[in-house]
Amino acid sequence: MFSEIISKILHLKKQKNAIILAHNYMRPEIFEVADAVGDSFELSKSAQEMKGDIIVFAGVHFMAESAKLLNPSKKVLLPSLAAGCFMADTITAEGLLRLKKKYPNAPVVVYMNTSAEVKALSTATCTSSNALKIVESFAEDTIIFAPDKHLCEFVQDRTHKKLIPWAGFCHVHTQLSPAFLQKTKEKYPGAHVLLHPESPKRLFPFAEHICGTGGMSQYIQNHPEVDTFLIGTEEGMVGRLKRDFPEKTFVALMGTCINMKQITLDNIFRSLSQEKYEITIRDEIFVPAQKSLEEMMKRS
């Protein structure tokens, strides 16, 4: 069904010395043209390790920005400008500045899901997998943690530091109800529930493990005795897991992120052939935002 467009993309990729990075939540056919598949942090690291003049980021805007910050000499393209992030949009530079004024001595840790402008005002960036480590790496006892209030709560329950939250959240990860999760668990006896820490805390008692998408793959690998997993993150992750563990059964507990689904094989082809949409970051925020990402690498 997709073979013609896939071979056109692969040909163009070679011709332009480009690499394609695909987030775990992408449509499964996109994995066929990807040089690396992973979460936003894994992909930014892959981009640094791979050779290529152009990076096509099959993900959302903040991820492509992070790839640009870590690979300043490469041209970074996002196939659709409609691929934003609801959570990243819950915080602005102005809002964060106001919070910083209230806690002038507190370091600021921001989640990867933020714009470069917001990262530029932070001390360090974090991912869901290293958030606790980054928070604990500071000598200060009070730390601003933004924008995801659920990830903040997850970290707060595991640290003695005082975290100052922001009220952001992801609508995909907050739709699941405890009653539906309980019912699904009953339908699949013996299945393990894996939940992303962007989920509300009220769901945690139902989960065998709470982790980011990279951690989910690791958990499945470490539990060969389990046949069925209920996956508590954006449903695209199930496609990724089915590809990596074809002998297992995966059930999606959450819905679709329409931002992630903006990326298609067609717009990847157009992006590569017309070299658009190129990610650019204003000079005055480039260095401080890059420093925030580098702090994360140092501290994690």
In angstroms, give the least distance from the CB of 283 to ligand SF4: 27
Please check whether residue 219 is in contact with residue 231, taking contact to mean a CB–CB distance below 8 angstroms: no
Q: Which of 15/256 has CB closer to ligand SF4? A: 256
149 neighbors 218 (Cβ within 8 angstroms): no
| Minimum gap (Å) between residue 113 Cβ and ligand SF4 | 5
Q: Which residues bind ligand SF4 (CB under 6 A)?
A: 60, 85-87, 113, 170, 172, 234, 257, 259-260
Give the shortest CB-25-to-ligand SF4 separation in angstroms.
6
Q: What is the DSSP string of 92-110?
A: -HHHHHHHHHHSTTS-EEE
Among residues 9 and 87, whose Cβ is nearest to ligand SF4? 87
Q: Which residues of 32-61 are buried (b: 16+ CB within 10 A; e: fewer)?
A: bbbbebbbbbbbbebbeeeebebbbbbbbb
Least distance (Å) between residue 273 CB and ligand SF4: 26
**Nearest CB to ligand SF4, comparing residues 87 and 272:** 87
- Indicate the residue among 235 and 295 with the shorter CB distance to ligand SF4: 235
Q: Decide whether 256 or 273 has the Cβ nearer to ligand SF4.
A: 256
Question: Kind of pairing, strands 36-38 and 18-23?
Answer: parallel
CA–CA separation, 35 and 23 (whole Å): 11
CB 252, min distance to ligand SF4, A? 13
The CA angle 226-231-237, to the nearest 5 degrees, is: 115
- Measured distance between the N- and C-terminal CA atoms of the chain, rounded to whole angstroms: 42
